[in-house]
Amino acid sequence: MKPKILIVDDEPDICKALEFLLKRENYAVNSAHSGEEAIKKLKEESFDVVLTDLKMGKVDGLAVLEKAKDTSPDTAVIIMTAFASIESAVEAMKKGAVDYIVKPFLNEEIRLTIRKILEQKKLIMENIALKHQVSQRIEACMDFVANSEAMLKITETLEKIVPTKSNILILGESGTGKGLIAELIHCNSPRRDRPFISINCSAIPEGLLESELFGYKKGAFTGAVSDKMGLIPLAHQGSLFLDEIGDMPPNLQAKLLKVLETGEVYPLGDTKPRLVDVRIISATNADIEKRLKEGRFREDLYWRLNVIEIKIPPLRERRDDIEVLAIHFMNKFSGEHKKNIKGIDREALSLLLEYPWPGNVRELSNVIERAVVLTEGNYITPKDLPDKVKNPELEKEPSGASSSLKTYLGDYEKNLLMKIYNAHNRDKEETAKALGIDLATLYRKFKKYGIEAE
């Protein structure tokens, strides 16, 4: 989309000259030869910039300014005046003009003034977009739930570190909630009203990552047609979330380290640094210690990033979170899909508690969303769950060459016993009945597999 500019002057030659000049700058240019015509055009469409003469016939530049501000407050109005009288220009500025130009003007002056104004407008728009993201994020942060001892401990740590500026490294398998915790840290910190900028280091090609992070000056390389603000300067006074930091290429690791040490960023092709103040939250599901040992990740950078380390355990190691998460997702998706789901039945719940969740919380969220969509009643039941959750043993390969059929079947039997036992609320008689065995056999099997039966 080309920026739209309206030129207003009662001297047709000036309109023509300006049109010629600004079209060459690649703007969409329109002209009006009187104040009346300008007002008509302003009613019909909106412009990014209006460049208007001050002294015209009955309807002058000030009237055009007023009309422009009235119909679209975002339009930037520049006044041209042949009378180098400061007063009229000052009056126009007071009424909301962004700038004025004294005739006769130089082409360069017009070009630069318009360019500067459009750049400022762009920044303002970006800021509005960021504010919008902030309010969405605060909602997202209210989504965090925790019940297990491990997660409650993490929450306690978070409470302590959130007010500080310390860099944080979050470790954990895919889907454990690293991204969510990064947002949680930012939107509870004193930086919450400033940007939270997130970038996935493994999703962006190496060449682009550098210009994305640091920004560039116009002409820094072929294709750099205008200045571009980097993500690090954009995150100034806010937080920068570097996801999959383990995949950051070595030359960039060195550059990032320098930024952290000096607090300065050099956009590509620029000799002047920008001062930045960012809190870095990084995350990875890679084995970072292994990469350190192999020399694939710089140790000095690691210590800068890892002032505080948060290790999120996989879901299978904090089973006390499964139920609260499942209920949380059930409520969330029940609302989103306009269903009226009241709960998860006992049997379905015990299946959820048993399943190993290799995809962690993200997998649980997907399973519950699917169940909410599929279920016909008000409760989620086993038939709404995918087969892998109903029969995790069948999914599992016998582990390793050493495992014999006997141990495989033993594992299967133990899991089945546990499942049925939990599904019957740990009632042994009911469990035996459900399995079609007598109570004594049940006790024997419990003993064999070390299942506690108080």
Ligand X SMILES: Nc1ncnc2c1ncn2[C@@H]1O[C@H](COP(=O)(O)OP(=O)(O)OP(=O)(O)O)[C@@H](O)[C@H]1O
Which residues contact ligand X (rule: CB under 6 A)? 143-146, 172, 174-180, 285, 325, 328, 361-362, 365
Q: What's the CA gap between 341 and 93, in Å, rounded?
A: 59
Minimum distance of ligand X from residue 328's CB (angstroms): 6
- By CB under 5 A, what part of segment 154-193 binds Mg ion? 179
| Residue 362 beta carbon to ligand X: minimum distance, rounded to whole angstroms | 4
CB of 177 to Mg ion, least distance (A): 8
Burial class from Cβ neighbours inside 10 Å (0-12, 13-18, 19+) for residue 235 reads buried
Find the residue with minimal CB distance to Mg ion.
179
Rounded CA-CA distance 360/76 in Å is 51
Q: Which residue is nearest to ligand X (CB)?
A: 177
Parallel/antiparallel/unpaired status of strands 239-243 and 228-229? unpaired
CB of residue 199 to ligand X, shortest distance in Å? 12
Report in angstroms how near the CB of residue 176 gets to ligand X at its nearest. 4
Task: Quote the tokens at residue 50.
Answer: 């209006």
Three-state DSSP state, 160? helix
CB of 123 or CB of 373, closer to ligand X: 373
Residue 197 phi/psi, 5° resolution? -110, 130
Mapping DSSP onto H, E and C, the string for 311-335 reads ECCCHHHCHHHHHHHHHHHHHHHHH
Rounded CA separation 238/216 (Å)? 20
Q: How far is the CB of 182 from ligand X (least distance, A)?
A: 8
Tokens of 193: 């009203």
Q: Which is nearer to Mg ion, 59 or 180 (CB)?
A: 180
Q: Which lies closer to ligand X via its Cβ, residue 130 or residue 150? A: 150
Task: Between 244 and 384, name the residue whose CB sits nearer to ligand X.
Answer: 244
Q: Find out whether the peptide bond into 104 is cis, omega within 30 degrees of 0.
A: yes
Q: Which does 246 bind (CB under 5 to 8 A by kind): ligand X, Mg ion, none?
A: none
CA dist 444 and 437 (Å) reads: 11
Our CB check for ligand X shows the closer of 64 and 170 to be 170
Partner from ligand X, Mg ion, none contacting 195, C-beta within 5 to 8 A by type: none
In angstroms, the Cα distances linking 337 to 334, 349, 352, 375 are 5, 21, 21, 12
* Residue closer to Mg ion, measured from CB, 179 or 246: 179
* E strand residue ranges, 83-167: 99-102
Pair of tokens at residue 261: 């040490």
Rounded distance between C-alpha atoms, residue 160 and residue 151, angstroms: 14
- Which CB atom, from 175 or from 195, has the smaller least distance to ligand X? 175
Q: How far is the CB of 244 from Mg ion (least distance, A)?
A: 8
Instruction: Name the token pair of 203.
Output: 């999703």
From ligand X, Mg ion, none, which one binds at residue 177 (CB under 5 to 8 Å depending on kind)?
ligand X
